[in-house]
Structure 1
C-alpha cells in the first residue's frame, strides 16, 4: 500500500457496491483520474474478503446501504484486515446522522451520490490518498524516530555518565539511567525538579553562578566539580560538563551536558594528598629508591636530619649516609632479610652531611608491582639522638642528684663497696661522712626554695672541689651530703677531712642581696671498725651525725657504740614527737608575771610541756630543738597559740582576766610566710582581743632577716598584738639597734638575774639594760627571779615586772587560775 500511495499514479482501489450501475460510474470516474489505476469492484462479502486477502488496497470505496449489510460494517472489516487502509463512504441513502457516526468511527471521507458528486469523487479520493500517504510517511518517520530514540536510550543507559538536560528555569528535563545509579533516586521522580535541590548546600551558590554564566552567554562550556546528595543522605562527588542548549530561533532555553561520578577518584586524590602530606610533614626521614637502590624522592625531614637537600640526595644511593659503624656482614644480612621477607627494621648509625654521626631506627620495605616484581624500596628513619640523650640523662639521674649533679645515695653505696674492696685487698681505712647543714630549713623558709636551691648548688660545688682524687661526694637529699674517702691515716685523717669540709661550709655564700654563712654537722664512720658494708657504715655515720645535732651542731663526731645508743634514743624521741600532737600529749603551763610598781598581775607566759605515756615528762630542752629541726614546731606552735587564747577566754568567763598571755615564736615559725595570717585567724576563732596576746622572739631571730622581721612585727603591732624580745643580752644586738623594730618589751635573760647580789658586772648590765630600755620607751621584765633580794634590786632599778620561782612556778591552766584568783584577793 505504501508504494502505490507514494506515487498516486496507479493506486489499488476496491469499490464495494451491489448496484452495477453505481460500480460502473465510480470505476469510470477513477480511471479517468488515474488511467493506470487498478480498480477492483466487488458486490458480495466473499468477494470483499478475497480482495482484502490478496494485498492491502490503497483505498476502499463503499456504499452505505448494501443488501448484505451497511458501509459501516464494510469499514469495520477493512480496518480489521488493514488498520491503516483509508475508507471513503459514497452513498445516496445516508443521512446526516449516518455521516456523523461514520466520521466519528474513523471513516476518512463521506460523499453523497449525485451527478455532481460523481464528478468530484475522484478529487475527494485523491485528497484521501494524499492524507493516507502523509500518515504513512509520518508513521514511518515516527517509527524511525522511536527506533533511533530507543537505540540512543540504550546507548545512554549503558553509559556510566549521566546525560542531562535542564530547562531555562534549571529544572531537570532529561536524566539518563546512570542518575539513579549515582544518586539512588528514580529518574521519574526527579524530572521537573530544580537541579540545585540535589546539590550539597555548600556547593549550591557556586553551581548557581556557573548556571547563570552559561545561560547569559558568559561561556559556552563549563566544567565544575560538586557534591550531590544521595537518597540515603550520603554524598557523591561528580564532575559536570555543560553547555547551553538553544531552540530553533537560536535562543538559549536551557543546559545540556554530562555528569560523571568521580567519588572514587576524589577519594583516591584525597588519599594521595594525605600521603603526600604525611610524606612531607613526617617527623621521620623518608626516602624512596628504585629497584636498583637509587634515591628517587626524599621528604623534608630527611633533609633536616641528614643535612642533604633533595637535589643532593636524589640520584645517589643510601651509601652516602654510611657511617662505618656497621661492617659488610651487617649490610649483607640487612639486604638478605629485605629481599627475602620484603622488610627489615633495626637500629643503625648513619652519617650526616657535616660528617657527624647519629643513631637511628630504620624501617625498610619493598614495593612490588602486580606481577610481583620489586619496583621500589621505602625507608623510614627515626633520629634516635634525643632518645639516646634522654636515656643517658635518665641513667645519669638514676645515679645522680638532679639539683647538684652529685652522685646519689645509690651510686655512693656502689662507690663505698668499691672502696671497701680495695681496702680489703690493699689494707687501710675507709671513712664515710654524713654532713648536714645546720638550721638550713630556716634558711629555706626565709629565702624561699629557689634561693635555697641556688645555695645548695653553690655548696655542692665547693665541697666537691675540696675533695681529693678518689674521694666521692654525694647528696643524700635536702641539706644532707655524704662522702666516702680512703684514709690511710685512720681516724685522725678522717677527722682532718671532716674539719676541712666544715671549713668549706663556713665560708660565706652569695645569697642574693647579702652573703650568708652556714655551719655544718658531720658524723663519721670507719671501715673496718664500724661496719663491713655500705649500709652499715651509712647508718653508723648517721648515728654519729644525730649526736652532733643533739649537741647543737657545728661540729663532728666519730661513731661509737654510745653514740649509736644516743642516735637510737633520738630517733625514738622524734617518732614519738610526730604523734604527740594528735595524741593530745602536749599541755600548756603558765608562769605569772608581777608588776613591781602596783603588785598586780602583769601577765602570764605560756610554756609548752610534753607528757609521754611511755617516756613520762620530757623536758622542753630535749624536744623543742628536735621539733624545730624537723619542722614540727609549726603545727605545734599553732596549737600553743590556739590553746593559750582559749584558756584566757575560759579564765575570763570565770572572772579572771590577766592583762596578757605571752607565747614564744621559734625561728622556724617566724620564717613561715603565712605566720601573721594564721595568728590572726586563731585570734578571731577564739574571740580573744589581739591586745591581750604577746609574741616573744629571740635576739638571734631578729638578726637573721631584719627587713622581713620588721615587716612581720609591724603587721602584728598594727593588729594590736604586742611584741617582746626574749632572753635579751644573750645575742649580738644592741639597744640602739633595737630602735629599728616595733617592740614593746625586753625580757632580761635569767643568766644575768641569777647572779644579782653576787656579781657586780651582771648587776651593772641589768641596770644599764633597764635604763636604756626605758629611754627607748620599752618595758622591762626580768626572768628567773628566785629570791627576795633579786626582786628588791630590780624594783630599786625601776624594772617593770618580774617572773620566776620567787613568784610562782609554771603550773597547769586550772592551778594557774586558782593562783591568780588568790593573788587578786591579796592584792585587793
Structure 2
C-alpha cells in the first residue's frame, strides 16, 4: 500500500474514531460533557440535559457550561486540569469533600443551585484529561453524579447521632434479647454507669427492688401488645442511690415485623418529686409551724364528723386565739413572734392525743379538733390543760413572754352544721370569749352569732366599697376668724353608697375601727389627700390639710415606714403641709408608744393635732408628754357654750392650757357667728364648723376660698371695736332664736314647759341685763338703742302672755298671741343688727 493510501486510512480511522467516541458519550446514561483544550463545550449528552435542564444547543461551543450549576461565573474543574492547577481546588470551590484521584484527575463534591431548574443538588464531578498520542492535552471529559439523596441520608444519620449524643434524656438501645448495645452520655450522667460498664448487660442491673415482679410482667405485656410502654419507675444508680424516672420504651421492627431493637428513653424526676412533695406540704401544712392548714383541717373535720355520727360521739371544734399577740410582735419584732408561735404549736400538739388535730389558720389563730368525746363535760379537762400550757411563761433568748388564750367552742352533732359553718360558729364564740374578759372559753350561742354574722356582712360590704372606689374625700375649711384667712382644711371621708346615697363616716367607720380594714381605708385617704394637695399646688393653692388617723392604724408597727412611702409617691407635696389628727382618748392608751411614733413622724416634717380634746379623763396630766402642735376643742363643748357655763369653763380652761404649753388651739363645731365671737373673746381665733363652711368636694374648695367672707362682727375684735361689756348685745340673736324655738315647741305641744321659758322674764334675759347695766350711759342717746329697747320689751310682754295662756290651757289664745309675737321677728333682728353696727362705730370713734 502506498504511503498516500496509508495516510488517508489513518485520517479516516481517526475521524471515525472521534465521531464514534462522541456519539458514545452522547448515549451514556451518566451525565457527561467534553471540553476542548480551550474549555469550550464540544459534547453535552442527553443525561446532562436531563440533570441540568440545559439543552446541548445552548452550551456547545461556549465556555458557559457553569450556568447549569451556578448563578454566577465560577472556575470549573476543566480549567484546573488544563492549567495543571489541581492544588488550588479547595480555594475555588466551597465543597463538602475534596480529593485527588491522580496527578491529573480531579474529583469534587459540592452543593450547587441549578438556576434553570430552581433546585439545589449535591453533585460529584470527575474531570479527566484527554491527550493525543504525543501526550498533549486536547480536551477534558467531566462526568456528573447526583449525590443529593445520599448526602441528605448522611445528614439525617448525623443528626440522629447528634440527638442521641446530646439528648438530655438518657437513652439505651438493646437487641431483641434485651442486651444493651449502646447508651448515650445522659444515661451515664444519670446512672453513673459508663458505656463500657453496661454493654452486653441487660437493664436489670438498674433495678431498685421497689417494684414487684408483677410490675415488670405488666410492662412486657404492654410492649408485646402495642410495641411501646411508658410509666414511672424507680431505678438504682451505680452508687446505690435510688431515684425515680419517667421511662418510655419503644420496640423497633424490621420489614418482616420482627423486633430488631428496643429503645428506652428516661428522665430523672427526682427534682420534680421533691417539688411535688413541697407543693403538697404547702397545700396542706402551715409553712411556719408545720401544722395542718385550713385545707387539711377541712378534710379531717369531714372525717371526724362522719366517725362521730356512726359511733355516737361528739367532736369539739375549738377556735383558739392568743390574747394580745399583736403586742409581742410590736414590741419584740416578727422574728420573736414567729418563734413564739412555733413554741405554742408544739405545746398544743403535746397536750392533745394523736387522734386529735391542731391546725393553724394564720397569725395567732389555731383550731383544735378534739374527737371521740362521750360528753361535753369531758372537754372541760382538756381545755383546762390547754389554758395551762399556753399560760406557762415563755423564754425566747433573754425575753420573757406570758400570754393567755381565748377559745370558742362548738360541739358536733349538737351543732348540726356543715364544716364551714362549724368553723364560723367556733370563731364567733371565740370573739364572745374575748368580750367576756379573755383567758376563757365560750360555747357557741346561736342568737349571739346572728349579730356577728351581720357585722361580718357589713365589714365585707365596706371592703367591697373600698375596692370599687365608692369612697370620697370631702374637705372642711379651717379659718382664722379674726383675720378672715383660710388656714387649712380637714379631710373627711364619705361613702357614696349606690343605694343609700352619701353616708357620713359615723355610719361605717365605727364598724371597722378595730379591724385591719381601718388601715387600708386610712392609707387610701392619705393617698387621695396628697394627690389632691399636689393638684391644688399646681393651681396656686398651698393648703395645709389634716387627716384623721385611727388608733389601730397609728399604732401599727409599720406606720412610720408606710407614711414615708406614701409621701415619697407625692414628692411635690411638702410633709410640712400634712397634719395628722389623733383622738386624745386613743393617745392615752399607750402614751410612751404614741410619743415615739409622733416624734418619728415629726422628724420627717409631719405635724399633729389632738382631736376631741377635753373628752379624755387624763388629758391634763398627759398633755405635756404628747408633742402635738395643735389642740382641737371638741365640738360637744362648743355647741352648748353659749348656754352652758360648765362647757364654757372647759373651753376657757383648754385655751388657757394651750397658751401655757405653747400650743395652737382650734375649735370645732362653730355653727353661728355668736360661737365665733365668744371663742375669740377667750383667745381662740381659729375654728371650723357649719357656721363657717360645710365639708365639700375637692372641686368646690377653690370657689369657696374665693367667695369666703367672715361674719362682719369677727374682724372687729382685731380693731378693738368690742369688749366684754358688749357681749350680751352680740349674743342677743342667739338668745332670741333659742327662746323662740322653745316657746314654739311648748305651744305646739312638742315639749313640756322647761326653765328656758323663764327667759320671758325681762330680768333674766341677757340683753335685758345689758340694757339695765351701763349701756344706757354710753349708748342711750342712740336712736337704734331706743328703737330696739321698745321692740324687745314688747316681745317679752307677748311671750309672757303666750306662756300664761298655754299654762292655763287656753291653747287657742296662746296660738293667736304666738302669731302676733312672730310678726316682730324680722324687725327685731333688723334693729339688733343696726344697733350692733352703730355701737361698733361709736367705739371706733
Q: TM-score, normalised on structure 2?
A: 0.61
Matched, 1:299 2:184: yes
Name the CA shift for 1:217/1:564 in 2 (closer, same or farther; >3 Å): closer
Which of 397, 406, 410 is 2:295 aligned to?
410
Which of 538, 542, 546 is 1:690 aligned to?
542
Match of 1:788 in 2: 648
Deviation at 1:143, TM superposition (A): 3.6
Kindly indicate whether the alpha-carbon contact (under 8 Å) linking 1:690 and 1:719 is maintained by their aligned counterparts in 2: no
Deviation at 1:570, TM superposition (A): 0.6
Which of 119, 128, 152 is 1:234 aligned to?
119
Match of 1:194 in 2: 64
Match of 2:174 in 1: 289
Match of 1:733 in 2: 592
- Out of 370-379 and 787-796, give the one that drifted further: 370-379
Q: Provide Cα deviations, 1:507-548, integer angstroms capped at 9, x if missing partner.
A: 9899xxx99999998654343444454223112123345668
Kindly indicate whether the alpha-carbon contact (under 8 Å) linking 1:785 and 1:803 is maintained by their aligned counterparts in 2: no
Q: Provide Cα deviations, 1:33-90, integer angstroms capped at 9, x if missing partner.
A: xxxxxxxxxxxxxxxxxxxxxxxxxxxxxxxxxxxxxxxxxxxxxxxxxxxxxxxxxx
Which of 406, 409, 431 is 2:317 aligned to?
431
In structure 2, how many angstroms separate the alpha carbons of the residues matched to 1:264 and 1:309? 36
Matched, 1:803 2:672: no
Deviation at 1:306, TM superposition (A): 2.2
Which of 191, 194, 198 is 1:309 aligned to?
194
Name the CA shift for 1:826/1:212 in 2 (closer, same or farther; >3 Å): farther
SS at match of 1:308: coil
In structure 1, how many angstroms separate the alpha carbons of the residues matched to 2:460 and 2:212? 63
After the TM superposition, which residues 248-259 of structure 1 pair with which residues of structure 2 at under 5 Å, given as runs?
255-259=140-144
Match of 2:104 in 1: 220
Kindly indicate whether the alpha-carbon contact (under 8 Å) linking 1:238 and 1:261 is maintained by their aligned counterparts in 2: yes
In structure 2, how many angstroms separate the alpha carbons of the residues matched to 1:680 and 1:206? 84
SS at match of 1:629: coil
Matched, 1:350 2:235: yes
Match of 2:732 in 1: none
Kindly indicate whether the alpha-carbon contact (under 8 Å) linking 1:241 and 1:259 is maintained by their aligned counterparts in 2: yes
Name the CA shift for 1:526/1:825 in 2 (closer, same or farther; >3 Å): farther
Q: Provide Cα deviations, 1:240-291, integer angstroms capped at 9, x if missing partner.
A: 2335555777566765443321111101101101111122222322222224
In structure 2, how many angstroms separate the alpha carbons of the residues matched to 1:352 and 1:694? 71
- Out of 133-142 and 173-182, give the one that drifted further: 133-142
In structure 2, how many angstroms separate the alpha carbons of the residues matched to 1:313 and 1:407? 47
Deviation at 1:490, TM superposition (A): 5.7
In structure 2, how many angstroms separate the alpha carbons of the residues matched to 1:226 and 1:472? 78
- Out of 327-336 and 560-569, give the one that drifted further: 327-336
After the TM superposition, which residues 8-23 of structure 1 pair with which residues of structure 2 at under 5 Å, given as runs?
none
- Out of 540-549 and 179-188, give the one that drifted further: 540-549
Structure 1 residues not aligned, in runs of 5+: 1-5, 8-129, 641-668, 756-760
Match of 1:646 in 2: none
SS at match of 1:379: strand
Match of 1:150 in 2: 23
Name the CA shift for 1:530/1:240 in 2 (closer, same or farther; >3 Å): same
SS at match of 1:407: coil
In structure 2, how many angstroms separate the alpha carbons of the residues matched to 1:623 and 1:564? 22
In structure 2, how many angstroms separate the alpha carbons of the residues matched to 1:261 and 1:515? 91
Match of 1:721 in 2: 577
Kindly indicate whether the alpha-carbon contact (under 8 Å) linking 2:166 and 2:185 is maintained by their aligned counterparts in 1: yes
In structure 2, how many angstroms separate the alpha carbons of the residues matched to 1:209 and 1:151? 24
Match of 2:729 in 1: none
In structure 1, how many angstroms separate the alpha carbons of the residues matched to 2:76 and 2:711? 103
Kindly indicate whether the alpha-carbon contact (under 8 Å) linking 1:725 and 1:746 is maintained by their aligned counterparts in 2: yes
Match of 1:570 in 2: 455
SS at match of 1:733: helix
In structure 2, how many angstroms separate the alpha carbons of the residues matched to 1:331 and 1:734? 71
Kindly indicate whether the alpha-carbon contact (under 8 Å) linking 2:488 and 2:543 is maintained by their aligned counterparts in 1: no
Kindly indicate whether the alpha-carbon contact (under 8 Å) linking 2:544 and 2:579 is maintained by their aligned counterparts in 1: no
Which of 52, 70, 85 is 1:183 aligned to?
52
Deviation at 1:204, TM superposition (A): 5.6
Name the CA shift for 1:439/1:587 in 2 (closer, same or farther; >3 Å): farther
In structure 1, how many angstroms separate the alpha carbons of the residues matched to 2:595 and 2:283? 54
Deviation at 1:148, TM superposition (A): 4.8
Match of 2:754 in 1: none
Q: TM-score, normalised on structure 1?
A: 0.62
Match of 2:776 in 1: none
- Out of 312-321 and 611-620, give the one that drifted further: 611-620
After the TM superposition, which residues 48-87 of structure 1 pair with which residues of structure 2 at under 5 Å, given as runs?
none
Name the CA shift for 1:404/1:168 in 2 (closer, same or farther; >3 Å): farther
Name the CA shift for 1:296/1:633 in 2 (closer, same or farther; >3 Å): closer
Match of 1:324 in 2: 209
Deviation at 1:228, TM superposition (A): 2.8
SS at match of 2:348: coil
Kindly indicate whether the alpha-carbon contact (under 8 Å) linking 2:493 and 2:505 is maintained by their aligned counterparts in 1: no
Name the CA shift for 1:405/1:339 in 2 (closer, same or farther; >3 Å): same
Report how many aligned residue pairs link the two structures: 643
Matched, 1:163 2:47: no
Q: Provide Cα deviations, 1:193-236, integer angstroms capped at 9, x if missing partner.
A: 43544445799689899779853666634332202323321111
In structure 1, how many angstroms separate the alpha carbons of the residues matched to 2:594 and 2:277? 59
In structure 2, how many angstroms separate the alpha carbons of the residues matched to 1:584 and 1:408? 35
Cα RMSD over matched residues? 5.5
Name the CA shift for 1:379/1:590 in 2 (closer, same or farther; >3 Å): closer
Kindly indicate whether the alpha-carbon contact (under 8 Å) linking 1:608 and 1:620 is maintained by their aligned counterparts in 2: no
Name the CA shift for 1:417/1:256 in 2 (closer, same or farther; >3 Å): same
Q: Provide Cα deviations, 1:738-768, integer angstroms capped at 9, x if missing partner.
A: 666246865446474566xxxxx754555x4
Kindly indicate whether the alpha-carbon contact (under 8 Å) linking 1:284 and 1:380 is maintained by their aligned counterparts in 2: yes
Deviation at 1:310, TM superposition (A): 0.5
- Out of 813-822 and 629-638, give the one that drifted further: 813-822
Match of 1:704 in 2: 557
SS at match of 1:232: coil
Kindly indicate whether the alpha-carbon contact (under 8 Å) linking 1:433 and 1:484 is maintained by their aligned counterparts in 2: no
Structure 2 residues not aligned, in runs of 5+: 89-102, 638-646, 677-687, 697-703, 717-845
SS at match of 2:592: coil
Deviation at 1:566, TM superposition (A): 1.6
In structure 2, how many angstroms separate the alpha carbons of the residues matched to 1:680 and 1:717? 7
Kindly indicate whether the alpha-carbon contact (under 8 Å) linking 1:785 and 1:802 is maintained by their aligned counterparts in 2: no
In structure 2, how many angstroms separate the alpha carbons of the residues matched to 1:812 and 1:378? 93
- Out of 497-506 and 225-234, give the one that drifted further: 497-506
Matched, 1:273 2:161: no
Deviation at 1:384, TM superposition (A): 4.5
Which of 263, 267, 270 is 1:378 aligned to?
263
Name the CA shift for 1:630/1:603 in 2 (closer, same or farther; >3 Å): same
